[in-house]
């Protein structure tokens, strides 16, 4: 029977299978950050266990780390304790890669693993973080796990899992000018809903996906979790292989050739069956803006905020009403009339070099609007930051009135000092517009980097195609 | 891990779809390096009128009276009744830690987010998926009847309402076994350590670059 990519990745990692289908899955790469790991290491220590294979571990503090004033260290004592705890745990248990706070390559875990060649095709990748789906862009089976599972992987190098169903999301055709991977992903979530992918591993395919760079593919897979899917994957092609060649932890020499030969088999075979198929026409996808408090509450930039009166389902109607109230929006108002207070360009969704470039193109020679109190650009890693600076992007941003910061998660979840105040409205390139996500009472609109930069300049949302 | 066999528990309704783990336990509480003590901050932003900080004593904080957890009739609830896609968003296990620490042992919803669903089992909480019709019925009955309790029997895989209406639910034999006996996965997995080592050796021979 013809196999899907998911079948291949799954089958090649099953250590044993129980009668009810529960499997023990071998884990190749274990990514870690400071927030979801301390209790797992503590559990290991209490049980007197060691890490099964510490060279599978890639770790970095990213959630709590400040993005400015690094000379002042981490000022919040509770954040500092968490980061210090990761330092101590890695020292005790070991790792393949560890970039402590202020290391030149420090950054968001989902940015640093790929750029150092630590995410490879054919791997199983886990992290105590839901956006682990990002690494599926490399034809790897990658998903987020809870802290108990982090401990389980540390102790056994395996995960107890049942195979998910397989969904194919096929996006065919050419994307219009100004339409990015972020818009594709948001449009998919808008179509299938935030629970549409629950219980599935989503494979993204079609000419529009194949046409994306690795950065774009990572953006798409990153958002698989916002569609409810634990994992999103994309088959390996030449773009994947070219991205990896020469990266620090990618194989070298004869092993490289051997690896590439194997990686080229990592795609879905002709005629393989999926449990669900969703097809989208790339040409119909427009720049997207979320208006509510769930990523599925999303519209094309030319749209109007929905009117709850038009919704028949009472649970959904109540959801729209609550979202409008929280977001401080009027039913039927045009998206482009929404004024913003802050802008955040960053996060594991959109903080790679391509994202920096896309935002810089829009910002070049312009000024951030007077009503925008803060426009932050936070590169995803030290490597991205240096590359952007080598290209002069930092100067473009600073001249336009943006702040150019040190790498980290930053205002994506506001665990450090970067956050919204109650009622403040933000154009953000991150992945979650939940209530309070960017600070209590804060209002988040998810957009692409170019759309965020354009909103910063105009002071309200604008259609990037007309900006 | 605590065992779970049977429970006759008071029900508390959370009548919203897509309740995310940021709402269940806001991020400022994720700075803790412990596993316990999250119960007082469960649903912090919906439950209290002020801004919660880790370590805060919650007894005298201003409460939002309209939120279910603050209502007298739901005090001591052990069964959480929810809507679609409960527990979506961040993978933080702090969410089930907070739910368990508060005292809930069972959750019933038409659907749960995947990661949250498996995290719950690891913390001796039983998540039960029921049809939207059944969940709707439970919401209505719960609202109409003060002191509404459900009887949850894991061995029989059934839930029974006060009026005697009963429905069954699915659970994998592996999860059922672990919950009934209070077993944690790591010990069970390490029974197969030799098999894991054998797999690892074969895997390394085939893809040596994964072990570089
Ligand atoms: S950037 Fe945001 S979503 Fe990504 S890992 Fe950091 S906090 Fe999580």
Q: What is the 3-state secondary structure (H, E, C) of A149-189?
A: HHHHHHHHCEEEECCCEEEEEEEECCCCCCCCHHHHHHHHH
Are A154 and A174 in the same domain?
A: no
Closest CA to A225 of A449, A430, A10, A23: A430
Q: Say if A129 is an interface residue toward chain B (CB within 8 Å).
A: yes
Q: What is the pLDDT of residue B184?
A: 84
Cβ proximity of B155 and B4 under 8 Å: no
Edge-to-edge order in the sheet of strand A200-205: A231-233, A200-205, A165-172, A276-281
* CB-CB contact of A232 with A224 (8 Å): yes
Residues A279 and A312 in one domain: no
Whether A446 contacts A290, CB under 8 Å: yes
Residue whose C-alpha is closest to residue A463's, from A368, A336, A355, A369: A336
CATH code for position A336: 3.30.499.10
pLDDT value at A204 more than 80: yes
* pLDDT per position as a tens digit, B45-67: 999 999 999 889 999 999 999 99
Question: Which residues 82-121 of B have a C-beta within 8 angstroms of A?
Answer: 83-85, 88-93, 96, 111-115, 118-119
Last residue of a domain, one of A162, A193, A216: A162
CATH number of the domain to which A173 belongs = 3.40.1060.10
Per-residue pLDDT of A158-170, as tens digits, reads: 999 999 999 999 9
Q: Tell me, what's the pLDDT at B10?
A: 98
Give A 241-260 residues with CB within 8 A of chain B.
Answer: 249-251, 255-256, 258-259
Q: Do residue A107 and residue A185 come from a single domain?
A: no
pLDDT recorded at residue A315 = 83
Contacts within 8 Å (CB) and 24+ apart, B157-164: B159/B108, B159/B128, B159/B130
The H or E element spanning position A389 is helix A382-390
Q: Which residue of B has its CA nearest to A196?
A: B85
Pocket test for ligand 1, best of A64, A344, A347 (most atoms within 8 A of CB): A347
- Are the beta carbons of A20 and B89 separated by less than 8 Å? no
Specify whether A85 is located in the same domain as A189: no
Cβ contacts from A onto B, under 8 A? 190
Q: Are residues A378 and A403 in the same domain?
A: yes
Q: Is A221 annotated as a binding residue?
A: no
Taking the Cβ of residue B157 and every Cβ of chain A, the question of whether any pair is shorter than 8 Å is answered with no
Does B91 contact A144 at a Cβ distance shorter than 8 Å? yes
Per-residue confidence (pLDDT) for residue A448, from 0 to 100? 98
CA of A53 to the centre of ligand 1 (A): 26
Within A264-310, where are the H helices? none
Integer Cα distance of A88 and A72 in angstroms: 21
- Percent pLDDT > 70 in chain B is 100
Which residues fall within 8 angstroms of residue A250, CB to CB, at 6 or more apart?
A117, A120, A244, A256, B209
Structure tokens of A250?
């990618």
Question: B190, A155: Cβ pair inside 8 Å?
Answer: yes
Residue A63 domain flag: yes
Range of the domain at A230: 165-236+268-284
* Pair A273, A354 in one domain: no
Residues A376 and A321 in one domain: yes
Nearest to A139 by CA among A217, A222, A234, A245: A234
Count CB-CB contacts under 10 A for residue B52.
19
Q: Within an 8 Å CB–CB cutoff, is residue A371 touching chain B? A: no
Cα–Cα distance, B190 to A155 (Å, whole number): 8
Q: Give residues 380 to 409 of A whose Cβ lies within 8 Å of B.
A: none
Mark which of A142, A162, A182 sits at the end of a domain. Answer: A162
Secondary structure (DSSP) of A31-92: EE-TTTSHHHHHHHHHTT---S-GGGEEE---SS--SS-GGG---SHHHHHHHHHHHHHHHH
Look at strands B158-160 and B149-153 and give their pairing.
antiparallel
The answer to whether the CB of A89 falls within 8 A of the CB of A41 is yes
Superfamily of B6-181 according to CATH: Aconitase, domain 4 (3.20.19.10)
* Co-location of A329 and A408 in the same domain: yes
* CB-nearest partner of B33 from A21, A39, A199: A39
pLDDT tier at A416 (50, 70, 90 boundaries)? confident
Q: Which residues, at least 6 apart from A337, have a Cβ–Cβ distance to it below 8 Å?
A: A460
Which residues of chain A have a CB within 8 Å of the CB of B127?
A: none
Enumerate the domain spans of chain B: 6-181, 184-212
- CA dist B27 and A439 (Å) reads 9
Which 8-state DSSP code applies to residue A145? -
> What's the pLDDT at B168?
98
> Which of residues A357 and A316 earns the better pLDDT score?
A357
Tokens representing residue A18 in the block: 């129980």
Q: How confident is the model at residue A316 (pLDDT cuts 50, 70, 90)?
A: confident
> Over 80: is that where the pLDDT of A467 sits?
no
Q: Is residue A255 part of a domain?
A: no
A127 is in an annotated binding site: no
* Cβ–Cβ below 8 Å for A259 and B196: no
Per-residue burial over B64-78, b = 16 or more CB atoms within 10 Å of its CB, e = otherwise: eeebbbeeeebeebb
Question: Looking at residue B143, what is its pLDDT?
Answer: 96
CA-CA distances (angstroms) from residue B64 to A437, A466, B16, B44? 20, 45, 16, 10
Work out the average pLDDT over A455-459.
98
Q: Please, which residues bridge with residue A126 across strands?
A: A30, A143
Q: Where are the beta strands (DSSP E) in A291-347?
A: 298-300, 342-345
Q: How far is the CA of A346 from the centre of ligand 1 (A)?
A: 9
Number of domains in chain A: 3
In a domain, A429, yes or no: yes
| pLDDT for position B185 | 87
- What is the 3-state composition of chain A as percent helix, strand, coil, each rounded to the nearest 5? 40, 20, 45
Taking the alpha carbons at both ends of chain A, their separation in whole angstroms is 50
- Do A170 and A198 share a domain, yes or no? yes
Cα–Cα dist B40/A398, whole Å: 44
**Per-residue pLDDT reduced to its tens digit, B95-112:** 999 999 999 999 999 999
Mean pLDDT on A45-74: 94
Low-confidence ranges of chain B (pLDDT < 70): none
Q: How far apart are CA B59 and CA A115, in angstroms?
A: 48
Q: Report yes or no on A253 lying in a domain.
A: no
| Nearest-CA residue for atom 4 of ligand 1 | A348
Last residue of a domain, one of A219, A254, A284: A284
Same domain, A190 and A325: no
Nearest chain A residue to B196 by CA distance is A15
């Amino acid at each position: 029977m013809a196999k899907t990519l998911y079948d291949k990745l799954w089958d090649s990692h099953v250590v044993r299978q129980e009668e009810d289908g529960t499997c023990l899955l071998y884990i190749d790469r274990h990514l870690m950050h400071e927030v979801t790991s301390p209790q797992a290491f503590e559990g290991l220590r209490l049980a007197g266990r060691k890490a099964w294979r510490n060279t599978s571990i890639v770790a970095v503090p990213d959630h709590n780390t400040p993005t400015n004033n690094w000379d002042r260290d981490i000022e919040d004592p509770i954040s500092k304790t968490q980061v210090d705890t990761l330092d101590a745990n890695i020292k005790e248990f070991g790792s393949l890669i560890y970039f402590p706070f202020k290391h030149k390559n420090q950054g968001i875990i989902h940015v640093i693993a790929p750029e150092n060649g630590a995410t490879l095709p054919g791997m199983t990748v886990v992290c105590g973080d839901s956006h682990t789906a990002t690494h599926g862009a490399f034809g790897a089976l990658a998903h987020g796990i809870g802290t108990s599972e982090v401990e389980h992987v540390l102790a056994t190098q395996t995960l107890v899992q049942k195979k998910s169903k397989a969904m194919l999301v096929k996006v065919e055709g050419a994307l219009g000018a100004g339409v990015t991977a972020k818009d594709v992903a948001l449009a998919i979530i808008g179509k299938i809903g935030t629970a549409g992918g629950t219980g599935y591993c989503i494979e993204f395919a079609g000419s529009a996906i194949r046409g994306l760079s690795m950065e774009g593919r990572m953006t798409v897979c990153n958002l698989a979790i916002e569609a409810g899917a634990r994992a999103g994957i994309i088959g390996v092609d030449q773009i994947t292989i070219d991205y990896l060649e020469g990266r620090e932890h990618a194989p070298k020499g004869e092993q490289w050739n051997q690896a590439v030969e194997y990686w080229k088999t990592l795609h879905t075979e002709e005629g393989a069956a999926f449990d669900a198929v969703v097809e989208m026409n790339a040409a119909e996808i427009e720049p997207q803006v979320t208006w509510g408090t769930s990523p599925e509450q999303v519209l094309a930039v030319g749209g109007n905020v929905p009117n709850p009166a038009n919704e028949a389902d009472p649970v959904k109607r109540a959801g729209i009403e609550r979202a409008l109230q929280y977001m401080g929006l009027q039913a039927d108002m045009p998206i482009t009339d929404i004024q913003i207070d802050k802008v955040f360009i960053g996060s594991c969704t959109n903080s790679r070099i391509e994202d920096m470039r896309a935002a810089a193109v829009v910002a070049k020679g312009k000024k951030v609007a007077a009503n925008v109190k803060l426009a932050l650009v936070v590169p995803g890693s030290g490597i991205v930051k240096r590359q952007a600076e080598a290209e002069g992007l930092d100067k473009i941003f600073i001249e336009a009135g943006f702040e150019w910061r040190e790498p980290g998660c930053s205002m994506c979840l506001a665990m450090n000092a970067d956050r919204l105040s109650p009622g403040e409205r933000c154009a953000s390139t991150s992945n979650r517009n939940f209530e309070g996500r960017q600070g209590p009472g804060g209002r988040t609109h998810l957009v692409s980097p170019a759309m965020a930069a354009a909103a910063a300049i105009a002071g309200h949302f604008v259609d990037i195609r007309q900006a | 891990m605590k065992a779970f066999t049977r429970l006759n528990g008071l029900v508390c309704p959370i009548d919203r779809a897509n309740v995310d783990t940021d709402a269940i336990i806001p991020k400022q509480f994720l700075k803790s390096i412990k596993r316990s003590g999250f119960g007082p901050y469960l649903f912090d932003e919906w439950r209290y009128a002020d801004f919660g900080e880790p370590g805060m004593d919650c007894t005298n904080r201003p409460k939002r009276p309209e939120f279910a957890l603050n209502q007298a009739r739901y005090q001591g609830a052990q069964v959480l009744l929810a809507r679609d896609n409960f527990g979506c968003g961040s993978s933080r296990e702090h969410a089930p830690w907070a739910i368990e620490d508060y005292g809930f042992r069972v959750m019933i919803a038409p659907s749960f987010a995947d990661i949250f669903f498996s995290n719950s089992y690891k913390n001796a909480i039983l998540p039960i998926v029921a049809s939207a019709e059944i969940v709707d019925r439970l919401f209505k009955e719960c609202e109409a009847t003060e002191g509404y309790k459900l009887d949850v029997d894991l061995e029989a895989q059934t839930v029974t309402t006060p009026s005697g209406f009963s429905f069954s639910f699915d659970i994998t034999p592996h999860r059922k076994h672990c919950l009934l006996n209070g077993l944690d996965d790591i010990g069970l997995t390490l029974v197969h350590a030799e098999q894991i080592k054998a797999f690892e050796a074969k895997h390394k021979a085939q893809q040596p670059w994964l072990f570089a």
